[in-house]
Amino acid sequence: MAFLAQLLQRIKPSPTIAVSDRARALKAAGRDIIGLGAGEPDFDTPDNIKAAAKAAIDRGDTKYTTVDGAAALKQAICAKFKRENELDYAPAQITVGNGGKQVLFNALLATLDPGDEVIIPTPYWVSYPDMVQIAGGTPVFVPTSLEGGFKMRPEDLEAAITPNTKWLIFNSPSNPSGAAYEAAELKGLTDVVLRHAHVWVLTDDIYEHLVYDGFAFATPAQVEPGLSSRTLTMNGVSKAYAMTGWRIGYAGGAVELIRAMATIQSQSTTNPSSISQAAAIEALNGRQDFLVERAAVFAERRDLVVTMLNQAPGVRCPTPQGAFYVYPSCADLIGCKTPDGATIANDTDFVTYLLEAEGVAVVQGAAFGLEPHFRISYAASTEALTEACRRIQRACAALV
């Protein structure tokens, strides 16, 4: 009898974390590496948020809280949903976990039985399929395309729904493509879900505040209030407030689901850190002006990266509306030979070549379920991005 569970044969460690680890190891070995694999803002957590955490420690807010979030944080989240998304949630409809990741995990564990299907558009955030599998469900992928702006078409969603469909996982702006759905595009999808009363929507809005060129963010329960009773609206402070290490994510949804998720969390991690919760209250209730300033910086970096990548022979890079990623195609480079005579057979070969030849760490499209592409995180300095894109241009020009 094997000691490790059979489940581990179906799931894999996060490929994006693997790229970061490899880049770190090469750096430690003395190589000149530019790591563009990480999914976190390079800004610091704002001072008012840090101060709120320090005050919480000094006040003695260092004990267990309610499992799925202290009352004051749930109030702040209700106010945020109302203010920014026109969503009316009561505190009993709110859950708080250790990052958006745990919230998603709780929702899937609380609802999936063997045979249940979860629709995931590709390219997807690397964790969705594995989370679904850990929870015993079956991921059902709906491919999108660069030509279609990496957006799922209503007819493709319709075709993927079966009597076994439990959830649609929806992520806009998207990791890894940066695609963001306008309200009208989103309505096309919610109209489909509305017709299938057994399908719920798990929307991951974590990149809500990272949108550019005046893009107006919209979330499913907002564009289709008729779906609010079967939508779990997930969000968090990690990306918007540069708080990835604090581990606070949250969601609003049906009371019965929220209670079931709290039961799961009560038997795993109990509450998220009381100190991080105090920081999150300040993040949501405090000054918001830096969100726009930081988004403007990201937009500039995006433009730089898109322009320079499109100058790399064989790379096609559309301009995304949000998040801090681009997801260019390297289809025209498949079959080319490196100066060492190796053939680039797929996007994994291409990113390996970029790392070995030029010391640029990016993530292969295979990790996100849509090939041949690669993902670059532009949450890095202008200097690092300029140098990385120069190196990518050089690496592509050297392929024959």
Ligand X SMILES: Cc1ncc(COP(=O)(O)O)c(C=O)c1O
Residues that bind ligand X (CB under 6 A): 39, 99-101, 125, 171, 175, 204, 206, 236, 238, 244, 249
Nearer to ligand X, 206 or 351 (CB): 206
In whole angstroms, how close is the CB of 244 to ligand X at the nearest point?
5
Q: What burial class does residue 59 get, using C-beta atoms within 10 Å of its C-beta: 0-12 exposed, 13-18 middle, 19+ buried?
A: exposed
In this structure, what are the phi and psi dihedrals at residue 381, rounded to the nearest 5 degrees? -65, 155
Residue nearest ligand X (C-beta atom): 99
Our CA dihedral for 32, 37, 39, 45, rounded to 10 degrees, sits at 0
Nearer to ligand X, 101 or 151 (CB): 101
Residue 60 region, left (φ>0) first, then alpha (ψ -120 to 50), else beta? left
Nearer to ligand X, 230 or 375 (CB): 375
In whole angstroms, how close is the CB of 248 to ligand X at the nearest point?
7
Nearer to ligand X, 39 or 359 (CB): 39
Judge whether 103 and 310 are in contact, CB under 8 Å. Answer: no
Nearer to ligand X, 99 or 359 (CB): 99
Nearer to ligand X, 205 or 224 (CB): 205
In whole angstroms, how close is the CB of 57 to ligand X at the nearest point?
22
CA–CA separation, 222 vs 398, rounded Å?
A: 49
Judge whether 378 and 36 are in contact, CB under 8 Å. Answer: yes
In this structure, what are the phi and psi dihedrals at residue 364, rounded to the nearest 5 degrees? -70, 145
Nearer to ligand X, 177 or 338 (CB): 177
In whole angstroms, how close is the CB of 374 to ligand X at the nearest point?
16
Amino acid at 197: A
In whole angstroms, how close is the CB of 62 to ligand X at the nearest point?
22
In whole angstroms, how close is the CB of 288 to ligand X at the nearest point?
18
Q: H-helix or E-strand containing 11? A: none
In whole angstroms, how close is the CB of 283 to ligand X at the nearest point?
12
What are the tokens at 392? 């990518």
Alpha helix locations (H) across the chain?
15-28, 47-59, 71-85, 99-111, 127-134, 154-160, 183-194, 220-223, 255-266, 274-285, 289-310, 347-353, 382-397
